[in-house]
Structure 1
């Protein structure tokens, strides 16, 4: 490990955040405050409303973005006719505070647009996704206006793009140009919405069968940029691990939080296991490492789901995981043994020396600073390894897919 890697592992902005955490208290108080904030972020609710006409693919979208198939347990009911008669919440399998709400179809005889908003309790949602599988109609525009009048954000999703491209491929056999066709579809959607009075509409082209293609990453970045910071974090962790940009976003989001978990775990530290003596401190690290496995889809349940999604053998996916620790069950005893490793202690001292240059109070707490550095390097190394392995697993899952 050299100074370049240290600067990457613990960049200046994180050191500055750490320094601010110490401004209103000593080491123990700062660690306790950080621990409370970590617990709190896992409880932050994110409610995303998904609406559209019957058959537009909203239920399938809700399943896919939660990493589920239409037939998996807990999936939203799908069908060619309207299957949703009340606003129905579907929680993320690993992040129960993230809910996608399948709203009743608009434009049907049962639900008139002018009564729709009262029915679904508009104000409870953070933002809306309005999904259409063809052109956007008057009912979409009326709903968008009402959402806008209440100060809520909304985005338009043009779904089933794969089916559109397939049709164009048959129609334009000699001059098929996918990029041009996508541009035509997008411009047509924007014009229709603009003609209906929606200025500067946000339109994303998606296929639930090929979520890694088209505008899903653009949509993700838009939400990421426009959500408040605390909700941005839980949104990123809930993303499906079926495209590489999601893995990168998760890695960066989790890396920015490592110092908080390391500091919180070191708050009651004393010397014996490089600074660790209380079970609660070890348990915090255990839970954080388990969270990493789930976030990157390398726990057993998520691997099975990925294998099913891409019709792969789970043993084949598991075979490309290079780091043995990623395959192991994360337990209290395992983490204790990792913390005792001599090479980890050596790396921890380099981390603490580096951090103490910006955060002087950290360097004044001998036991705490060793515990902090040890926890930091353990989490940093594990996150780095698991992100790399998640990329390998996804590459293998995508092999020979069209």
Structure 2
């Protein structure tokens, strides 16, 4: 039991706090941010620029899925439309009307679209950036918010150029980048991201993600990482590292609950914390049905059989984590925790130690298995070679 208490002390030290109570409060806040932090992403651009397709990519939805943004060659966005991320309900992607459209005149655009709602803006165009785009960027800069110029539909440009003699993809991309930059003379130091909403693993889609992660505060960064689709092995590893770094917080939150002398509380709360935490991993790693279906269609092979090897993935899919063999050990330990928590002072501390150790063990095992399953799928799909 001394080992578990030492583990708690190490976790308290790692949290940067001086006491278990303060460390537990910090852990609870950290987990709360992981589960509940809000993020509002604004996507704007003229008709036909690919806004709706980009929105659906971030949502992880196909055009015909419920909750997807409609797309078309005519103006489909006549007012700001909010799309709630299907697995991150506090993350909203906003499809905004193009600046300068009939109902949204350039001179009062930001007021009309409720500027203060958004954490940052994606200014999207499938051709050259216009004066309206530049004016919008200037106003956003004045308000001290982030904006990113994104040139979409790069796959169509590449496909067109491939028909020409002496085709060189890197030269084409360089030319496109310079062309876009030439129309942004007032933003010479601002990068233009070249993307395709069809081939996320190509061009600058991951570079855009990394740039956003660098610019966002920590708690917002966690929300973006969970939301952003897995487009490469490197992208997946960032997600895995996020959750590895948060196991201490989930385990300490469990330890704090174990100190409360109420039989049955710790078992129920440990189970809830474990399910929520590992479910976040499951969806962030792209192991859900919708994500695997999209990737399977893209690589023209079934990937569900690889997920089926994971006991944790199957348990999360069926909402039955307690059926796992490893869970029996945890339940036994949490039953002991309940008894210990009834003892004054020393018993409560030891109960916290057991709760921390059992929850950390369970989360570490679950995270490891889900991560390895996702890595295998990425490898089979060929995304680890990009």
TM-score scaled by structure 2? 0.84
How many equivalent residue pairs? 358
* Residue of structure 2 aligned with 1:246, choices 227, 232, 235: 235
Residue correspondence of structure 1 range 36-185 to structure 2 within 5 A = 36-171=29-164, 173=165, 175-185=166-176
User: Which residue does the alignment assign to 1:348?
Assistant: none
Q: Which residue of 2 aligns with 1:350?
A: none
Corresponding residue to 1:211 among 196, 200, 217: 200
Distance in 1 (CA, whole Å) between partners of 2:214 and 2:199 is: 23
Secondary structure of the structure 2 residue equivalent to 1:38: helix
Q: Which is worse superposed, 112-121 or 141-150?
A: 112-121
Segments of 5+ residues of structure 2 without an aligned counterpart are 1-6, 334-345
8 Å contact kept, 2:254–2:266: no
Tell me the SS of whatever aligns to 1:394: helix
* Alignment correspondent of 2:4: none
Where 1:209 maps in the other structure, the secondary structure is: coil
Secondary structure (helix, strand or coil) at the match of 2:187 reads coil
Residues 232-283 of structure 1: per-residue CA shift (max 9 Å, x gap): 001101111243222111101111110000111122337xxxx994312222
Separation in structure 1 between the aligned mates of residue 88 and residue 225 of structure 2, nearest angstrom? 11
Superposition map of 1:203-282 within 5 A: 203-269=192-258, 277-282=266-271
TM superposition shift of 1:58: 0.7
Cα distance in 1 for residues equivalent to 2:265 and 2:378: 36
Comparing 132-141 and 364-373, the one that deviates more: 364-373
Give the TM-score, by structure 1 length: 0.81
Q: CA shift at 1:325, angstroms?
A: 3.0
Task: Show CA shifts across 1:66-85 (max 9, x none).
Answer: 11111111110100111000
| CA deviation vs aligned residue, 1:40-81 (integer Å, no higher than 9, x gap) | 442221111101111000110000121111111111010011
**Superposition CA RMSD, Å:** 2.9
- Structure 1: 5+ residue runs without aligned partners? 1-9, 346-361
Q: Is the 8 A contact 1:14 1:256 kept in 2?
A: no
Q: What is the alpha-carbon distance in structure 2 between the residues aligned to residue 119 and residue 199 of structure 1?
A: 28
User: Structure 1 residue 297 and structure 2 residue 286: aligned?
Assistant: yes
